[in-house]
Amino acid sequence: MKIGFVGAGKVGCAFGTYLKKHGFEIYGYFSKTFASAERAARLTESKAVLDLAELVKNIDILFITTSDDAIKKVCDYLVEKKLLSEGKILVHMSGAASSNILKNAKEAGCFIYSLHPLQAFADIQKAVDDLKNTFFSIEGDEEKLHVLENILKTLGNPYFKLTDNQKSIYHMAACVVSNYLVTLMDYGLSLFASIGIDERQGYKALYPLIEGTIKNIDRLGTKEALTGPIARGDVGTIKNHIAALKDNVEALDFYKFMALKTIELAKNKDENKDLKDLENILKEVE
Ligand SMILES: NC(=O)c1ccc[n+]([C@@H]2O[C@H](COP(=O)([O-])OP(=O)(O)OC[C@H]3O[C@@H](n4cnc5c(N)ncnc54)[C@H](OP(=O)(O)O)[C@@H]3O)[C@@H](O)[C@H]2O)c1
């Protein structure tokens, strides 16, 4: 089973290298810039190709690892130029889209999939290392799904099987925990900055707290990991927080929104806890 890639960026290079290390045969790479294809070919002991037709003819599975916007364009180009023969497997690795963006290839007799590594890859070498501990999701045509499942089994990576219409929710969840965690950190650091604690020092101070919290979630789950004034029902403390933010409406709105969400979690943790007073304070309009 020969594998080819269109798009020799971080994921194309890293996943190709990872596949190669596990004994898969990589035929080669086509990319917008030939130098990128050459770099990927060196990493995977494969071929940099200038002619897309040559790549597609020589492979069984084609990974389209371009930027998201180019995936459909590449697929439609392959269909339009009649480069795809029946039975080829086409895979993209975007978390945002389902296999449906490759549907024109399906009409040309191919099998279409999305295979998404649930990981943030900033550079190729680190990505190859990180892939070892990465969960994947797969979604697409039932008929050849086992081919991708077998690849993941050989690689030793766990995976979810999704349907086309579950993909957006799955991707949203990943964005919330990854991207919005950064936003949350930025919010905390801006509160530190408002009392003169510089960002780097503030981050160093908060890091052990974050790490401890992640470990608690890992060990106990989100409900049981919840500690702090809301979980305890400390009305006075929350009143002080609100008073301290009274001149910063935007920061206060965000605080109240998150606090009300946290009350829901605290109620799930201990349904006998009376959190009504806390809820009323947080819902009060200034
Ligand atoms: N990075 C992540 O954390 C991550 C995680 C999970 C999934 N993904 C998914 O993986 C895919 C690739 O992402 P990436 O981070 O590897 O992006 P990237 O580093 O920007 O690489 C994309 C590559 O695609 C090539 N390309 C763009 N348009 C092309 C076209 N029309 N024809 C041929 N090649 C083209 C670019 O070419 P040249 O270099 O040749 O100019 C670039 O090297 C995306 O679908 C993304 O959503 C990324």
Helices (H) and strands (E) in the chain, counts: 14, 8
Q: Is the CB of 33 under 6 A from ligand 1?
A: yes
- What's the 64 CA to ligand 1 centre distance in angstroms? 8
**Pairing of β 47-48 and β 61-64:** unpaired
pTM: 0.90
Q: Mean pLDDT, to the nearest integer, of 256-273?
A: 92
- What's the 125 CA to ligand 1 centre distance in angstroms? 15
What are the tens digits of pLDDT across the range 194-242? 999 999 999 999 999 999 999 999 999 999 999 999 999 999 999 999 9
* Statement: residue 286 has pLDDT above 70: no
Output the pLDDT for position 226. Answer: 96
Q: Mean pLDDT, to the nearest integer, of 250-269?
A: 95
Domains annotated for the chain, with CATH where assigned, are 2-162 (3.40.50.720), 170-283 (1.10.1040)
Comparing 34-48, 227-241, 266-280, which segment has the lowest mean pLDDT? 266-280
Q: Which one, of 92, 78, 89, 103, lies nearest residue 143 by Cα? A: 89
Mean pLDDT of the chain: 96
Q: Is the CB of 152 under 6 A from ligand 1?
A: no
pLDDT band at 95 (very low <50, low <70, confident <90, very high): very high
Output the pLDDT for position 273. Answer: 79
* Statement: residue 285 has pLDDT above 80: no
DSSP state of 178: H
Q: Which residues pair with 139 in a beta bridge?
A: 114
List Cβ neighbours of 162 (8 Å cut-off, separation of 6 or more).
Answer: 137, 138, 139, 170
Q: With H, G, I as helix, E, B as strand and everything else as coil, classify residue 120.
A: coil
* Statement: residue 271 has pLDDT above 90: no
* Statement: residue 274 has pLDDT above 90: no
Q: Mean pLDDT, to the nearest integer, of 158-169?
A: 96
Name the percent of the chain lying above pLDDT 70: 99
pLDDT band at 270 (very low <50, low <70, confident <90, very high): confident
- What's the 93 CA to ligand 1 centre distance in angstroms? 9
Q: Is the CB of 157 under 6 A from ligand 1?
A: no
**Pairing of β 111-117 and β 136-140:** antiparallel
- What's the 70 CA to ligand 1 centre distance in angstroms? 9
Q: Is the CB of 249 under 6 A from ligand 1?
A: no
Q: Mean pLDDT, to the nearest integer, of 108-123?
A: 95
- What's the 66 CA to ligand 1 centre distance in angstroms? 4
Comparing 58-67, 83-92, 266-275, which segment has the lowest mean pLDDT? 266-275
